[in-house]
Structure formats: structure tokens, C-alpha cells
A and B are shown apart, each in its own frame.
Chain A
Amino acid sequence: MNARRLIATTGIAALGIAALAGCGPAEQESDGVLTLWHYEGENSAMGIAWNRAIEIFEEETGATVAFEERSFEQIRQTASQVLNSDEAPDLLEYNKGNATAGLLASQGLLAPLDDAVAEYGWDETLASSLQTTARYDEDGVMGSGSWYGVPTYGEYVQFYYNAEMFDEYGVEVPTTLDELEDAMQAFVDEGITPLAEAAAEYPLGQLWYQLALTQADRQWVDDYQVYDNPVDFAGTEVTYATDTVADWVESGYISSDATGLAAEDAGTGFINGTYPMFFSGSWWYGRFLDEAQHDWSTFLFPETEMSPGSSGNLWVIPTTSGDPELAQEFIDITLRPEIQAIMGDNGGVPVAASPDDLTNDSSVELIENFNTLLDQDGLAFYPDWPTPTFYDELNAGLQGLLNGSLSPQQMNEQIGSDYEAGLPASAGSSTP
């Protein structure tokens, strides 16, 4: 076998296949079966509500649903490949944001839903700040352009606190930032680390972003999230956030051990009473209801209109879907008040239910906090959204800050250049 001939043949083969790679699959035939994928656990609020929606859908349309449970990781890694093949489902749950739904929409893998939105009136059902993540422009940036996805639940970040520990040490629920720091100091004086934190995963990043939001306005959020203007990483918002985190580590409010902890560790630390406070997402709510043996409650971050949060993941319909009408009908069922109420009763955050629809009192607080945020247009999305790799990069910067290998200024410079490097070309900067 001579090498030159070998290279020639493989080269030709590669080019031949590369040529084939350009053409995607054709639209599938309609078969009266709705193939549905999602990655919500069976016992989660969404899983329970959607199971009921499947029953209603089958009764009303006479069509059957072929449901396949997926893992988050699997969808994240293979969505673009699957949707580009004959194996695509008719309807699936997919992550919201520029790097996920935005990318697939801009590459033509998701069907635009504008007609369906008009027909079913989803733009009336959903609060306007929830629509941001449903719409993407031709570059895949959220907030404008056609509808490509429909959110059916919400999520946001708040404080969970251990009421028994607050009582025991005589700490009041804080309503201002100063009171918050006093409360944490009170625990430190007792030798307790007040905040459950994790810097190996998302929790500390979300706290950092919340601190920036206390100094920010809507315009800053738009600059940061949808690239209206360049973000100054030496500006007041970012420097305040980074300095405050550094301060809180210094004061012992956050343990520097958080660099080696994952979200799961912080969550179980709150459940078992190691930490009295945990600033994290509504997605923990149901689990704390199930597992925490102590009395706990929640409050929104004090002295700010905005908190991290957004619509939940989206229903999207692949371009190749054989039964887009059935898929739209199913989406509409998941937005009905009765299904939304089931979600709320099980610790989810419905987007089309009022607290009066609920039968379960323990979830009322969750929904009230969410509605408070909605009313003040306070959903500010998440810190890791602007670029596909910023999640890892922000965690890395915060880890450096916590273990002292980066000063606050160095961290801001590092994440600033990471942020810059990851911006899409349409944001007016060059990318690799």
C-alpha cells in the first residue's frame, strides 16, 4: 500500500462525504404519532404536569404520543446532529438562550412558530419578559425576530433560609443589604458559615451576577445579554460584584472551600442544616419540600428590582417534524390553567396560572415571588448566557478569586477578555 495513493483515496472519500454533509434530511411523513422528547424527571413538577397533558392530548386528538425520556447532557451534545437527521422527534424540550436554541434557530433546524403564536394567542398568555427567550433573530440572538420556542414554566433565583436556625440565633429576615450583611455576621460570630456556596458549578456565579444587578439598570442587562453596547468589566456593576464577593469571603460569609464544591454539595449542606442560607434557583424548591427536615422559607434578594431568572426551557419543533400541527396542539395544552396548576402544586413555577388556581399552599410563596419579579420586569437571565463558554470561564474566575490566585481586578480582566472573545461576530467583535 503506498502512502500517496492512500492519502489520495481517503482525501477523495472525505470530500465526497463532506459534499453529502451539506444536504440535510427531508421533512418526515405525517404518521399521526407525536414523537416527544424531554428531560424532566418523572417526579418533577414539569414531568407530572406534562404526563397529564399527554393524557388530555390523546383523549382530545385521538393521536398517540411516543414519549422518550432524554438526559440533559444527551440533548445538549447531540441536538444539532439529531435534528439534522431522520431521527428527529416531532417536538422536544430544548434549552433557552443564544448558545442553544438561538444557534439551532439561526442554522435553520427549528421551525418558526409565528403563525401558531397568532393562532393560539401565546403572546397573550405569556408575560412579555418571558417572551425574550422565545424569539431569536437571524444571528440567533434572543429578544427579537421570529418565535422559535414556547416556554411553559419559569425559574428564578432567591434566598432560601433555615427558619429554625434564624430563630435559634435571633436573626431576622433581612430587607436591606445592610441587614443581610448583619444577619450573615451574626452567624459568623457563632462560628457558622452563613452561605451555602459552590464555585465549581453555577451557584456562586449567580450570586455574583445578583450583586452586579443591585448596581445595574435594564440597559446594562441588555448590553450584557444581547450585546446592545459593549460591557465595561471595570465598570461599577462588575467591580461592585467582584469586590463584594471578595469581601464576603474575607468576612467568612462564604467559605473559600466553595472552589471544590458542586451545587449538589451546597444544596445538601442546606438540607442537612450545615448552612442557614442558600442563594439559588427555584428548581430546588420541590426537593427541599421533600427532603429538608427543618422549617425553611424564602425571600427575594433585598434592595433590588432584578434577580437572575428567565423563562424555563422551551418547547421547540424541528424543521423536519412530520406532525407540526399536533405538536402545536400539545404545546397549547401544556399552557392550559389546569396543567399549569398541576405544575405549581408540585413545586414548579407556572407561567399561566394565578395563585388562586393552586390547591397546595406550600407553593404559593414560590409563585408570589415570581410574580413580584415579573411585575417589576425583574428577570435578568443568567450570567453565563452571553457566550457558550462563559459558564466555565466565570466559574474559573471566581475560583481564582476565592483561592487568592486572582485579585478582584485580575478576575475582572480575565473574565472580561473571556467574555469579549466569546461574543458572536454580529455583536461587532471578532471571534476565533
Chain B
Amino acid sequence: MSATSLLVTGETGHRNRRRRTVGDWIVLAVIVITALVVVFPFLLILINAFKSPSDYATGGPLQLPTALHFDGIAAFWERVDFTGKLWNSLFISGVVAVLAVVVSVLNAYAIGIGRVRGRVPLILVFLLANMLPQEVLLYPLYTIFRTIGLYDNVWSVIITFVVIQSAFGTYLLASVFGTFPKEIIEAAALDGAGRWLTLWRVIVPVSRPTLGVLMVFFFIWTWNEFLIPLTFLISNANQTVPVAISVLQGDRLMDVTTTSASALLGLLPTLIFFLIFQRTLSRGITAGAVK
């Protein structure tokens, strides 16, 4: 840990933690203003989701709605059976998030901590899943899934994304596990914990923030995927939220306000999920060994 090379005085007891300098305020201002710019498009979605179509046509996207109009949201919910789609998306994304993290941990344990032979080629082979453009997968996987009877089955999408997401997870965790303090692992080994126990009792708890981040990423990435679910989930009963949203975009006509409403509905679940897991992301490491 290069951080420990810094001289720590040890006198950490009586310090004013809230001494804010002018510089601190400037940093805050810059960060907040940028954040406002980042968030601006979301305000637009909010404004347009509650407009009537004629209201949008006369005022354009930037004006506030003249009256709150919930028909867009209600119509969309009814039309695509949003409840069912929500459940499908939740199920697929949730299962992928968990399984992909498990697969990533197993791979990274062997590569980062087990230091098996040929680590670099291995990492690269796993990364292939991330390197392949998705459109490459569509024709071959269609045939594979049709052959093994998984075409039009949510598990086809789940398996595919577990592989794609765990490629990233393997790479990140191998890198992080590589920096894992030896002392802790040795201590566990001296306590007689086997390899399996060391993984689950020592390594996983200590890496929890990173695993939390991975899980959030995997969930959200999977949720927003479009091409693969569109290709492999044929029945309406199996479809996901983004695919359902695309149903609104007809051959030649697109109703912007309903689309906005659907955007809002498509966005909310991931937003809620992210906010809940903010806490996971912020939970510091409790294992004292790193310090």
C-alpha cells in the first residue's frame, strides 16, 4: 500500500473536521453546477411525461404543461401490461446481477489470488465476452438456443448476460484481488481455513463495496439492454421494459408524450434500485488490515 508511505502523525484526536476554506466552496460550486447540467435532460422527461399530445404540439418540449395529464402514463401502463414487463425485467436483471458477481468472484479468486498459470491470456479470453460486438452473437446464439430449446425463454437472456457481465467483473476483481493484503489471507490459512472458506469468510466480506458496485452495474446494464432481449424473447409474456417501450415507436409515427411517460416509467425502477444501493456503495471497509 503506497498510501501507508505517507507519514501519519498519529495525533488525530483533536482536529476540526469542518474547517472549510474558500477553495472548498469553489470546488463545491463547480461540482454542483456541473451536476445541474447533467440532470437537465431528466427534467425535460419529467415535464413532457405529463403533457397532452396537443399541448406538446403547440408548446414544444420546453414549455411547462398547461395541465397535468396522466393519460400518457396510464395508457402506456395498460397497453403494454407494464406490471408483467416490470417483473420480467426485475427477475432477469436481479438474477444476472447475483450470478454474474458469483462467477466473477470465482474467476477472479483463481486469477488474482490463486495466481494460476497463464493469467494474462486467461483474462483476455474472459474479456472476449466484453470485446465482441453484440450483433455478432445474435445469429449463432439464436441457433444454439433454438437447438437446446431455450429460444423465447428468459434463461437464454440470463445466461448470455451472466457471461457478458462477468467478463467485466472478472477483470476488475482480478485486478483488485491482486492488491489484496497477503497478511489477511495468511492469517486465515493459519487459522486452518481452507481455500473455500477463505474466499467466503475473508475475501468476499472485505471486498464488499466493490462487489456492491458490480452488482449495481450489472443490474442496470442488464436492465437497459435492448438488442439481445428483443431477439431472444419473442412472446409478449417474456418481454422486458425497454423492449416494451420500443413498441410505442410505430412504423412511421411516434407519440412523444407517451414516449416520455414510458421513459419515466422505464427509468424509475433502476433509479430506485440505484438509490437503495447507494448505501452499499458508500459502506467503507471495516477490515482493519488495510489501514
Contacts and interface: CB of A to CB of B under 8 A. Distances in A.
Interface string A313-346: 1000000000000000000000000000000000
Instruction: Give the secondary structure class of A's interface.
Output: helix
A3 to B, nearest CB: 8
B168 interface: no
A25 B112 CA distance: 46
Given A21-B143, A77-B231, A71 B58 contact: no
B57 A268 contact: yes
Max chain A Cβ within 10 angstroms of own Cβ: one of B60, B235, B248: B60
B253 A85 contact: no
Contact of B251 (A14, A72, A271, A292): A72
Nearest to A201: B252
Interface residues of B, number: 34
Contacts of A77: 230-231
Given A71-B246, A293-B54, A293-B58, A82 B234 contact: yes
A39 B144 contact: no
A68 B59 CA distance: 35
A146 to B, nearest CB: 25
A290 B234 CA distance: 33
B56 interface: yes
Interface in A61-114: 68-74, 77-78, 81-82, 85-87, 95
A18 B140 CA distance: 8
A425 to B, nearest CB: 21
Interface string B211-250: 0000000000000000000110011100000010011111
A87 B235 contact: yes
Contacts of B54: 271, 290-291, 293
Interface in B20-62: 53-54, 56-60
B226 to A, nearest CB: 9
B236 A68 contact: yes
Contact of A39 (B56, B152, B251): B251
Given A17-B140, A268-B57, A287 B253 contact: yes
Nearest to A22: B143
A40 B248 CA distance: 10
A263 interface: yes
A40 to B, nearest CB: 8
Contacts of A74: 230, 243, 246-247
B256 interface: yes
Instruction: Give the secondary structure class of B's interface.
Output: helix
A264 interface: yes
Interface string A28-46: 0000000000011110100
Interface string B120-143: 010000000000000000001011
B268 interface: no
Given A268-B57, A272-B60, A71 B252 contact: no
B219 to A, nearest CB: 24
Contact of B247 (A71, A271, A291): A71
A281 interface: yes
A118 interface: no
A299 interface: no
Interface in A285-306: 287, 290-293
Contact of B56 (A3, A69, A85, A268): A268
Nearest to B245: A71
B161 interface: no
B235 A71 contact: no
Interface string A253-283: 0000000000110011001100000000101
Max chain A Cβ within 10 angstroms of own Cβ: one of B235, B249, B251, B254: B251
A129 to B, nearest CB: 21
A8 interface: no
B79 interface: yes
A78 B231 contact: yes
A202 interface: yes
Contacts of B57: 268, 271-272, 291-292
B235 A281 contact: no
B234 A17 contact: no
A74 B236 CA distance: 11
B151 interface: yes
Given A39-B251, A82-B234, A291-B53, A264 B256 contact: yes
A68 B235 contact: yes
Max chain B Cβ within 10 angstroms of own Cβ: one of A85, A284, A292: A85
Contacts of B282: none
Given A72-B249, A74-B230, A78-B230, A42 B243 contact: no
Nearest to B57: A271
Contacts of B283: none
A73 B246 contact: yes
Contacts of B250: 39-41, 44, 71-72
A42 B79 contact: yes
B252 A283 contact: yes
Contacts of A18: 143
Nearest to A84: B146
B136 to A, nearest CB: 13
Contacts of A287: 253
Given A69-B247, A81-B231, A272-B58, A87 B147 contact: no
5 contacts: A39-B250, A71-B250, A81-B142, A85-B151, A264-B256
Given A81-B231, A82-B234, A85-B146, 5 more contacts: A73-B230, A85-B234, A87-B152, A87-B235, A283-B252
